[in-house]
Amino acid sequence: MSTFKTLRVLIADGHAPTRASLRSAIGDDARFQICAETDNAAGAVAAAVRNSPDVCVLDMRLPGGGLLAAWEIVARLPRVKLVMLAVSAAESDLFAALRAGAEGYLLKTANWNRLPNVLVSVCAGGAVVDPPFVAGLLRQFRAREPRWRRPVGLVSVGGRSPELSAEPVEAHLTSREWEVLGLLSDGLSTADIARMLVISPSAVRVHIAAIVRKLHVSDRAAAVEVLRRTELVAGA
């Protein structure tokens, strides 16, 4: 007979109907025990310290400061998991919650039927972010860390796609150009890249033209091939 650990959950939200909805979503599920409820940040910290929950569900706009409560709870209980609830779709709020230690970030417009699986996932070491925020996370990651910083060495072979050279010709791309090249490699169109990076299609075309010129290739397909060959060499 299989056994499982009952997960202890703390709910902290300043809106009584929301607390009732959260309670309803997990209250009848044998995997969970609601160990405490509160409507303010100080109460959330005190209840967390007193009850040692496995996971805290915190409202970003919790009276007294949802983020302040998150920081304090994680400082006092490093192993606790956090799921933050938000009414704002601002990416800055998401990033602030992640910096505070959140493993889950859900909009309050979400279907609370998902909540049990979200709690199980974060307690198992996973992370859950509502789909509208995924594109923003990709943009943030790619903007901070270009895929390839080192030069690419090229040798033209009879007018065909270039090959990697043993003595590379340096091709210095900007961070944005690496970002665009990576998205081209992922199969995105000019329009797709423009939407992803929140720039105009004409700006994307300018970046692609610069990439093609700097890599000494004929078109975007050849540029993508250079990136793929470089990745293969790097991974060898």
pLDDT at 61: 92
Indicate the SS3 state at residue 94: helix
pLDDT tens for each residue of 6-29: 999 999 999 999 999 999 999 889
Mean of per-residue pLDDT scores for the chain: 81
Give the domain ranges of the chain: 7-130, 146-235
pLDDT band of 91, cuts 50, 70, 90: confident
**Residue 129 dihedral angles phi and psi, to the nearest 5°:** -130, 135
How many C-beta atoms surround the C-beta of residue 15 within 10 A? Answer: 17
Question: Measured between alpha carbons, how far is 128 from 154 in angstroms, rounded to an integer?
Answer: 41
pLDDT at 15: 93
Residue bearing tokens 């789909």 = 131
Residue 40, pLDDT above cutoff 90: yes
Task: Say if residues 154 and 226 touch (Cβ distance below 8 Å).
Answer: yes
Pick the CATH number of 7-130 from 3.40.50.800, 3.40.1260.10, 1.20.200.10, 3.40.50.2300: 3.40.50.2300
Torsion of CA 123, 129, 131, 135, to 10 degrees: -140
If phi over 0 gives left and psi between -120 and 50 gives alpha, with beta otherwise, what is residue 4?
beta
The single-letter DSSP state of residue 167 is: S
pLDDT at 214: 85
pLDDT at 73: 94
Question: Measured between alpha carbons, how far is 181 from 108 in angstroms, rounded to an integer?
Answer: 36
pLDDT at 32: 95
pLDDT at 122: 93
Amino acid in the structure at residue 112: W
Show Cβ contacts of residue 42 under 8 Å, excluding neighbours closer than 6 positions: 64, 69
pLDDT tens for each residue of 98-130: 888 999 999 888 778 889 999 999 999 988 887
CATH of domain 146-235: 1.10.10.10
Residue bearing tokens 């075309």 = 205
pLDDT band of 131, cuts 50, 70, 90: confident
pTM of the full structure = 0.58
pLDDT band of 236, cuts 50, 70, 90: very low
